[in-house]
C-alpha cells in the first residue's frame, strides 16, 4: 500500500454555501451536505481565514493505485488502526486512498500501516 505521510497539517471545517462563495481558500476537499459545506484544508489556511475547527489531522496517502471496487482493503486498514486506538477519516479518490488521522497519532498510524504493508493485505 506504500503509505506516505504528508508534511502539512489539515483541518475539517464547515461553512454555509454563502460563506463558502466568499472565502479565498484552496481546499483539498469539498463535500456538500444538507447541513452545510465541509471543507478540508491546510490548518494555516483555516487559521488565516478565522475558520473554526475542532481538531488537527495528518494526511497519509496510500500511494499504490487502488481499485474503487475493491472489497475489504479499507476494512482491513481501518480495523488495524482501530485496534491501535487510532481514529481515521478515509477519502477514496480515483487513484489513491487517503487517510486522515489525528496529528498526534500520525507516527503510530504509519507504523501500523507499514506492518500491514509487509503482510500484503
Q: Which domains does the chain have, with CATH numbers?
A: 3-118 (3.30.2130.10)
- pLDDT tier for residue 120 given thresholds of 50, 70 and 90: low
Residues of 13-45 as b/e, b for ≥16 C-beta within 10 angstroms? bbbeeeebeebebebbeeeeeeeebebbbbbeb
- C-alpha 49: how far from its chain's center? 21
CA–CA distance, 89 with 67 (Å, rounded to integer)? 18
Residue 32, pLDDT above cutoff 90: yes
- Give the mean pLDDT of 63-72: 75
Alpha-carbon distance 86 to 67, whole Å? 24
Q: What are phi and psi of 64, to 5 degrees?
A: -75, 140
C-beta neighbour count of 77 within 10 angstroms:
23
- pLDDT score of 66: 74
C-alpha–C-alpha distance, residues 119 and 113, integer Å: 10
78-96: buried (b, 16+ CB within 10 Å) or exposed (e) per residue? bebbeeeebebeeeeeeeb
pTM of the model: 0.91
pLDDT, tens digit (0-9, with 9 covering 90-100), for 75-111: 999 999 999 999 999 999 999 999 999 999 999 999 9
**Residue with the three cell numbers 497539517:** 9
> Can you give the pLDDT at residue 68?
67
Indicate if the pLDDT at residue 1 is higher than 90.
no
- The answer to whether residue 121 scores a pLDDT higher than 70 is no
Amino acid at each position: 500500500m506504500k503509505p506516505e505521510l504528508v508534511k502539512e497539517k489539515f483541518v475539517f471545517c464547515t461553512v454555509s454555501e454563502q460563506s463558502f462563495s466568499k472565502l479565498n481558500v484552496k481546499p483539498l476537499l469539498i463535500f456538500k451536505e444538507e447541513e452545510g459545506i465541509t471543507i478540508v484544508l491546510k490548518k494555516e489556511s483555516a487559521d488565516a481565514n478565522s475558520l473554526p475547527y475542532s481538531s488537527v489531522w495528518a494526511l497519509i496517502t496510500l500511494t499504490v493505485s487502488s481499485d474503487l471496487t475493491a472489497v475489504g482493503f479499507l476494512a482491513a486498514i481501518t480495523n488495524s488502526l482501530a485496534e491501535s486506538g487510532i481514529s481515521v477519516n478515509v477519502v477514496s479518490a480515483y487513484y489513491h486512498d487517503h487517510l486522515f488521522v489525528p496529528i498526534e497519532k500520525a507516527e503510530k498510524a504509519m507504523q501500523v500501516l507499514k506492518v500491514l504493508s509487509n503482510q500484503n493485505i
